[in-house]
Chain A
Amino acid sequence: MKELKIQPIKNGTVIDHITAGNAVKVLRILGIPKSSTSIVSVAINVKSKYGKKDIVKVENRELDPHEVDKIALISPKATINIIRDYEVAEKHRVKIPDEIIGIVNCSNPTCVSNSKEPVKSRFIVLNKDPIQIKCYYCEREPDEEDIAERII
């Protein structure tokens, strides 16, 4: 018999196919638990057809596209399922845009985008999976760890 690791939720969002081990980073992006009162369930290293994955379920909260963009940076294969009354009302994969604006800070401390200038951080996406980005201003290419640490 198939074991159910997490209970279904009535309303909210299920983020599935998160790169194994990245669920905690997804929680940080979503501001959980600090800025959220939602009930959240997390499963880490769940077996799936494609190896291991993480799953995050957030009750009574539907993710907005800005948050989805951020998740794409650390889990390019993640899917977002919006649940309404126990049914999947919407399902989509996260999508990395061609330019990432105002989502990640540059890892170069002397990059002009880290000073008090009236600009948002801006990265050109060189490769989507694995993620490879280049700062529009200083041209530094942060590695995956740098990106995860510097998500705003």
Chain B
Amino acid sequence: MNFQGKDIISIKDFSKNEINYILNYAKEMVTYAKGEKYKDIMKGKVLSTLFFEPSTRTRLSFESSMSRLGGKIIGFADPGATSQKKGESLADTIRMADAYSDAIVIRHPQEGAARLAAEFAESPVLNAGDGAGRHPTQCLLDLFTILTEKKKIGKNKVVLLGDLKYGRTVHSLAYALSLYGVELTFVSPGSLKMPKEVNNECKKLGVEPNQTTNLEKAIRDADVLYVTRIQKERFPDAEEYNKVVGIYKIDNELLSNAPDDLIVMHPLPRVTEIDPEVDKTPHALYFKQAFNGVPVRMALLSLVTGGKL
């Protein structure tokens, strides 16, 4: 399978076979991601990281990935310090980054920005989140986490919880998990239900998601609980936000009713939805999940730039 020069814009651009290939290659990257082994397959290569929006994990893990493989990074995390402030178009900024580097990572507040960037760049473009749109590398690392913990993706019972209406990670994840025929349950407050289009996509792939507001019941026989933050910035007023923010809380009492091997995932940052007491239990996978961003992004950078282990 050849990924050289390929853009990583949306998980929907990939077949199940291609996703499996990336995930298996990511497994080989784990020891390199931990720094236990070193191979400079990206030596002489430069990565542009263009972050027009704040990011902690995504930016740092991309930069760590490039460094671990011997490559160099240029870029910015504050667009205020660039010519964008002078009114430069995204297209022109991309043309510059393209001239200076071998691959481009972009996070941008507008949906479709990464697709646009890919039109103007010769080098491969990796979407690190475009507005409320897509975040394919997060989706891949979520799949990787389930695969490495559960030894399979299909035949798991996965519960997606929280802001299912606006959360970009859950939309891509529901689609990707449906490719594997996973049993899906959506748990959210009534006002933050999974959009109809996402439900329809799952159904097209042969998965009929269960919808409920009863979390305790949903996790009783689940394998994976994927929690998302209820995003304050999405609500028109504070009162509406306050109505739903505390509805679901993951703590040890709740998890005492769940199977011992239930894993709790979260794309982070979390606020109050997971009690810190859960961090010390074997259920807590979210920090390992964040680490998994490194081997997955190492695999992607290596594949799209043609550097091989």
Mark A residues whose CB is within 8 Å of B: 106, 108, 110-113, 115-119, 135-141
Contact of A112 with B116 at beta-carbon distance under 8 Å, contacts A137-B111, A138-B133, A139-B10 already known: yes
Q: Are B110 and A112 in contact (CB under 8 A)?
A: yes
Q: Are B116 and A119 in contact (CB under 8 A)?
A: yes
Q: How many A-B residue pairs have CB under 8 A?
A: 54
Q: Mark B129-159, 1 if CB is under 8 A from A, else 0.
A: 0111110000000000000000000000000
Q: Are B132 and A110 in contact (CB under 8 A)?
A: yes
Q: A116: which B residues are within 8 A, CB to CB?
A: 89
Q: Are A138 and B111 in contact (CB under 8 A)?
A: yes
Q: Are B89 and A111 in contact (CB under 8 A)?
A: no
Shortest Cβ distance from A113 into chain B, in angstroms? Answer: 6
Q: Are B112 and A111 in contact (CB under 8 A)?
A: yes
Q: B110: which A residues are within 8 A, CB to CB?
A: 110-112, 115
Asked if B258 is an interface residue, CB under 8 A from chain A, the answer is no
Contact of A113 with B197 at beta-carbon distance under 8 Å, contacts A119-B91, A139-B10 already known: no
Task: Supply 29 A–B pairs (Cβ within 8 Å), ascending by A.
Answer: A106-B112, A110-B110, A110-B132, A111-B111, A112-B111, A112-B130, A113-B112, A113-B116, A115-B90, A115-B110, A117-B89, A117-B90, A117-B91, A117-B116, A118-B91, A119-B91, A119-B119, A135-B112, A137-B112, A137-B115, A137-B116, A138-B111, A138-B112, A138-B130, A138-B131, A139-B10, A139-B111, A139-B112, A140-B111
Asked if B282 is an interface residue, CB under 8 A from chain A, the answer is no
Chain A, interface SS category: loop
Q: Mark B230-261, 1 if CB is under 8 A from A, else 0.
A: 00000000000000000000000000000000
Task: Report the bound CA distance from A112 to B107 in whole Å.
Answer: 13
Task: Report the bound CA distance from A149 to B196 in whole Å.
Answer: 23
- 5 residue pairs, one from A and one from B, having the closest CB atoms: A137-B112, A138-B111, A138-B112, A112-B112, A112-B110
Asked if B109 is an interface residue, CB under 8 A from chain A, the answer is yes
A-contacting residues, B77-118, CB 8 Å:
89-91, 108-113, 115-116
Q: A139: which B residues are within 8 A, CB to CB?
A: 10, 12, 111-112, 133-134
Shortest Cβ distance from A135 into chain B, in angstroms? Answer: 7
Q: A118: which B residues are within 8 A, CB to CB?
A: 89, 91
**Nearest A residue to B111, CB-CB:** A138
Give the residue among A116, A136, A137, A140 with the most B Cβ atoms within 10 A: A137
**Nearest A residue to B10, CB-CB:** A139
Q: A137: which B residues are within 8 A, CB to CB?
A: 111-113, 115-116
Give the residue among B91, B116, B132 with the most A Cβ atoms within 10 A: B116
**Nearest B residue to A136, CB-CB:** B115
Shortest Cβ distance from A136 into chain B, in angstroms? Answer: 7
Give the residue among A113, A117, A119, A141 with the most B Cβ atoms within 10 A: A117
Give the residue among A108, A111, A140, A141 with the most B Cβ atoms within 10 A: A111
Q: A115: which B residues are within 8 A, CB to CB?
A: 90, 110
Q: Are A112 and B113 in contact (CB under 8 A)?
A: yes
Task: Report the bound CA distance from A119 to B90 in whole Å.
Answer: 11
Shortest Cβ distance from A144 into chain B, in angstroms? Answer: 16
Task: Report the bound CA distance from A70 to B279 in whole Å.
Answer: 57
Q: A138: which B residues are within 8 A, CB to CB?
A: 111-112, 130-131, 133
Task: Report the bound CA distance from A137 to B115 in whole Å.
Answer: 6
Task: Report the bound CA distance from A140 to B133 in whole Å.
Answer: 9
Give the residue among B12, B90, B108, B132 with the most A Cβ atoms within 10 A: B90
Task: Report the bound CA distance from A118 to B94 in whole Å.
Answer: 12
Q: B119: which A residues are within 8 A, CB to CB?
A: 119
Shortest Cβ distance from A66 into chain B, in angstroms? Answer: 22
Task: Report the bound CA distance from A151 to B229 in whole Å.
Answer: 37
Q: A141: which B residues are within 8 A, CB to CB?
A: 197
Q: B197: which A residues are within 8 A, CB to CB?
A: 141
Shortest Cβ distance from B86 into chain A, in angstroms? Answer: 13
Q: A112: which B residues are within 8 A, CB to CB?
A: 90, 108, 110-113, 115-116, 130
Shortest Cβ distance from A150 into chain B, in angstroms? Answer: 16
Q: B109: which A residues are within 8 A, CB to CB?
A: 110
Q: Are B111 and A110 in contact (CB under 8 A)?
A: yes
Shortest Cβ distance from B114 into chain A, in angstroms? Answer: 9
